[in-house]
Amino acid sequence: MARVGVFVCHCGENIARTVDCAAVAEALADHPGVAHAEDYKYMCSDPGQALIKRAIIDKRLTGVVVAACSPHMHEKTFRRAASQAGLNPFLCEMANIREHCSWIHEDREAATAKATDIARTIAEKVKHNVPLETIHIPVTKRAMVIGGGIAGIQAALDIADGGHEVVLVEKDASIGGHMAQLSETFPTLDCSQCILTPRMVEAYQHPNIKLMTWSEVDSVDGYIGNFKVTVRKKARSVDADVCNGCGDCMAACPNRRTPSEFDAGLGTRSAIYVPFPQAVPNTPVIDRANCGRFKAIAKGIKKEVCGKCATACLKGAIDFTQQDELVTEEVGAIVVATGYQLYSIGREQPEGLKGYGEYGYGEVPDVIDGLQFERLASASGPTAGEIRRPSDGKAPQTIVFVHCVGSRDPEKGMSYCSKICCMYNAKHAMLYRHKVHDGRAVLFYMDVRAAGKGYDEFTRRAVEQDGAEYLRGRVSRIYRDGDVVKVVGYDTLGHEPVEIDADMVVLATAMRPQPGIKELAQTLSVSYDEHGFINEAHPKLRPVETNTAGVFVAGACQAPRDIPDSVAMASATAAKVLALFSNAELEREPAVAAVNEATCIGCLTCERVCPYGAVEAKEIRDRAGNVVRMVASINPGVCQGCGTCQAVCLSKSIELATFTDEQIHSEIEALAFWP
């Protein structure tokens, strides 16, 4: 005979305000099989837990129902308490009378009746609970970091310093990411490359870091502790082991007109190239889309074209025949740090976003975006750090900076604040005024959001010491008018329309996740928001975990982030990975599905519907070793306990531990029999 204990929590006023908790306990005390029922103000408190433990021992309880908050909150707490009193933890269940009842209802009488019903269903369920043991799975103590920007580099270094091997995968030819493109960084105005390149070199030289540049993640199998990641090493056309990075090939390349990605399209590069002088590794790649030889091959021309780079290379490192290569890496944890791209402003936009045709970007050459200004201000940039406008190379005497282009504009499909623009606009205005002393820097802003250590002081400095002119308001139109770029806007503090004849305009465009982020997220089974940013598991309490165990997230692929935030997140993911690797085995909840092989008809419908790939066909053999029939088999390490297979099983051969058919039916019966 079952002896169930029911414990009704007031949650202070959270539940007691709308539910008569004493009445619920009283009603449950008369429920068949209930040996004990009581209510208490804070069941999760130490004295509350003590009540449960004492009742388990005194009343020899065979099951416990805690009618309180969501199991997401305190299931672990109460299961641990039950186990301390000698009860198998999986005989303890929670009835959610807070999120599912008290918080959403006002009528006290009805809410009390509903809370009683909820508690009854769980009491009926608990009668059918069986003791379960946690599952132990092995851990591969090796991590993969996807993305080699500052976040990825930091995560890789921290994990590697913790004594574990890291595979750092970067899609471009060099690690460094956007930070390598920046001129100076806020709020200290220190040179971005000067602080970044030592980290890049450290990652390159670290004995525990395996660097895979010009590579992309192709597919991911497995589960926490046991991932198998297939990485596509794109054909570099250069043998990295032989190349000594002398650069003769680049000097020999006749194509010098390919727009440089590193210079945000303001400079040019050769078809065989390293993105920038301090690239890590310093091994060039051939951009096959722009190389004459490969273009000829693509057109079907048989004759071998050009090949000047191969002739110039004294080491014989150029290999035109290289193919993409698929490499499988076994890792126990994955950090996603793929960073951002800038919203591209023009009229044509992907994914239903709207452009700002009225801002003339792409049509007026002197309208540029923030990253392009970084390149203009950078010593390694196309103008060697002199601020000169793209159209005619003139030093601009008036620059207008426009905040929030795309950001905070639901009309354009991006409701969020991109966070870094207020700071870098102030920085741009300062850098410009430091270089062009008599120049005028006008900034159109919505609000100046400078929350961060030393940030507000920085923007004040731009105004007070460097003479940046801030105008509160939006720009309605930017167009070319002869030699000048006309900026038409409205000053909402001065209540007047403003027209400025600018020489150059810099648009602070919204940060968006990298293209391909959704496909990568689907490969990793992690969720993303409506903008494509990766979702964290909890916005406050689990900021670097994702909803897939063993996959962590750092930097601007989760939301717009500046460098300090990205680095902090990266170190946080490293701490999570190292904690995971500190155990020999992982413990998992036994809420997984299992197949009754005696009744399974081997239709494998479950295999087709399983979103996690946890079901495989298994052969049943007789003693002579002949295959008798096929059945489904579920890998408990991969199973996430969603129950889809159980629902579709034609022969009713799959049961999900903790949610068996019997348990669910008895819950329904409880609702039907006790009005």
Partner 1 sequence: MTLAYYPGCSLQGTSREFGESFLAVVEALHIEMTEIDDWNCCGASSAHPVSRDLGVALPARNLALAAEMGADELVAPCAACYSRLAAAQYHLAADTDLAARMPGILGRPLPPALRIHNVVDLLALHAPRIEELVAARVDPPLLKDLRVAAYYGCLLVRPNEVTGFDDAEQPTTMEAVIGAAGASPVAWNMAVECCGGAFSISRTQSVVRLGRRIVADARAHGAQAIAVACPLCHTNLDLRQAAMTGRGKEPLPVLYITELVGLAVGLSPAELGIKRHFVDAAPLLAELAGKAEATAASAAAPAAAKERA
Query: Which residues from 233-272 bind partner 1, rule CB under 8 A?
Result: none
d(CA 265, CA 617): 52
Identity of the amino acid at 75: E
What does DSSP assign to residue 179? G
Structure tokens at 81: 């308490």
Residues 438-497 that bind partner 1 (CB under 8 A): 477, 479, 481, 486
Least distance to partner 1 from the beta carbon of 417, Å? Answer: 22
DSSP 305: P
- The rounded radius of gyration (Å) of the Cα atoms in the chain is 31
Rounded Cα–Cα distance for residues 212 and 280 (Å)? 11
Q: Are 128 and 319 in contact (CB under 8 A)?
A: no
Pick between residue 13 and residue 481 the one whose CB is nearest to partner 1: 481
Element (H, E) at 405: strand 398-405
User: CB 342 → partner 1: shortest distance, Å?
Assistant: 20
Taking every pair of Cα atoms in the chain, the longest distance, rounded to a whole number of angstroms, is: 93
Measured CA to CA, the distance from residue 413 to residue 160 in angstroms comes to 39
Query: What whole-number distance in Å separates Cα of residue 61 and Cα of residue 489?
Result: 73
Closer to partner 1 by CB, 7 or 356: give it. Answer: 356
Kindly state the smallest distance separating residue 411's Cβ from partner 1, in Å.
8
Q: Considering the complex, state which of residue 481 and residue 530 has its C-beta at the smaller distance from partner 1.
A: 481
Residue 210's beta-bridge partner residues? Answer: 167
From the CB of residue 330, how many other CB atoms can be counted at a distance below 10 Å?
14
Q: What's the closest the beta carbon of residue 490 comes to partner 1, in angstroms?
A: 13
- H/E run at residue 75: helix 71-84
- Select 103 or 479, whichever has its Cβ closest to partner 1: 479
x/- binding map, residues 39-78, to partner 1, per CB under 8 A? ----------------------------------------
Sign of CA dihedral 123, 128, 130, 135: negative
Closest approach, Cβ 193 to partner 1, in A, equals 38
**CA–CA gap between residue 114 and residue 93 (Å, rounded):** 18
358 or 587: CB nearest partner 1: 358
Measuring CA to CA, how many Å separate 403 from each of 1, 359, 447, 484?
70, 13, 9, 20
- Number of residues this chain uses to bind partner 1 (CB under 8 A): 9
Which residue number, 37 or 402, has a Cβ lying nearer to partner 1?
Answer: 402
Minimum Å gap between C-beta 19 and partner 1 is 35
State in angstroms the smallest separation of the CB of 491 from partner 1. 18
Which CB atom, from 495 or from 623, has the smaller least distance to partner 1? 495
Beta-bridge partner residues of 222: 227
- Mapped onto helix, strand or coil, the DSSP state of residue 92 is strand
Nearer to partner 1, 278 or 349 (CB): 349
CA distance 603 to 651: 9
The distance of closest approach from Cβ of residue 482 to partner 1 in the complex, given in angstroms and rounded to an integer, is 8
Our CB check for partner 1 shows the closer of 340 and 361 to be 361
Query: Do the beta carbons of residue 335 and residue 146 sit within 8 Å?
Result: yes
Least distance in angstroms from the C-beta of 479 to partner 1: 4
Closest approach, Cβ 474 to partner 1, in A, equals 12
Which one, of 102, 54, 97, 57, lies nearest residue 74 by Cα? 97
Contact status, residue 516 vs residue 341, Cβ threshold 8 Å: no
Closer CB to partner 1, residue 36 or residue 486? 486
Q: In the structure encoding, which two tokens stand for residue 467, read together?
A: 């003479």
Pairing of strands 654-656, 593-595: antiparallel
Q: How far is the CB of 369 from partner 1 (least distance, A)?
A: 19
Choice between 228 and 477, CB closer to partner 1: 477
> In the chain, what are the helix, strand and coil shares in percent, each to the nearest 5?
30, 25, 45
The number of angstroms, rounded, from the C-alpha of 103 to the middle of its chain's C-alpha atoms is 31
Of the pair 281, 346, the CB lying nearest partner 1 is at 346
- CB closer to partner 1 out of 258 and 349: 349
| Beta bridge partners of residue 637, listed in sequence order | none
Q: How far is Cα 65 from Cα 115, in angstroms, rounded to an integer?
A: 13
C-alpha 431: how far from its chain's center?
32
* Rounded (10°) CA dihedral 304, 309, 310, 313: 170
Pairwise CA distance, residues 113 & 119, whole Å? 10
Smallest separation, CB 484 to partner 1 (Å)? 13
Cβ closer to partner 1: 347 or 621? 347
- Number of other residues whose CB lies within 10 A of the CB of residue 625: 6
CB of 407 to partner 1, least distance (A): 17
Our CB check for partner 1 shows the closer of 206 and 477 to be 477
**Closest CB 357 distance from partner 1, rounded Å:** 3
Min dist CB 372 to partner 1, Å, is 22
What is the nearest approach in angstroms of partner 1 to the Cβ of residue 351? 17
Footprint of partner 1 on 569-608 (CB under 8 A): none
Nearer to partner 1, 472 or 477 (CB): 477
Q: Taking CB under 8 A as the rule, does residue 618 contact partner 1?
A: no
Strands 258-259 and 268-269: antiparallel
* CB neighbourhood size of 70 (10 A): 13
Q: Smallest distance from the beta carbon of 480 to partner 1, in angstroms? A: 8
Site map (CB under 8 A) of partner 1, residues 337-366, x = contact: ----------x------x-xxx--------
State which residue, 52 or 507, has the beta carbon closest to partner 1. Answer: 507
Please enumerate, as own/partner, the contacts of 667-675 that have beta carbons within 8 Å and a separation of 24 or more: 667/121, 667/122, 667/124, 667/125, 668/121, 669/124, 670/117, 670/120, 670/121, 670/123, 670/124, 671/117, 671/120, 671/121, 674/31, 674/117, 674/120
Per CB under 8 A, residues contacting partner 1 are 347, 354, 356-358, 477, 479, 481, 486
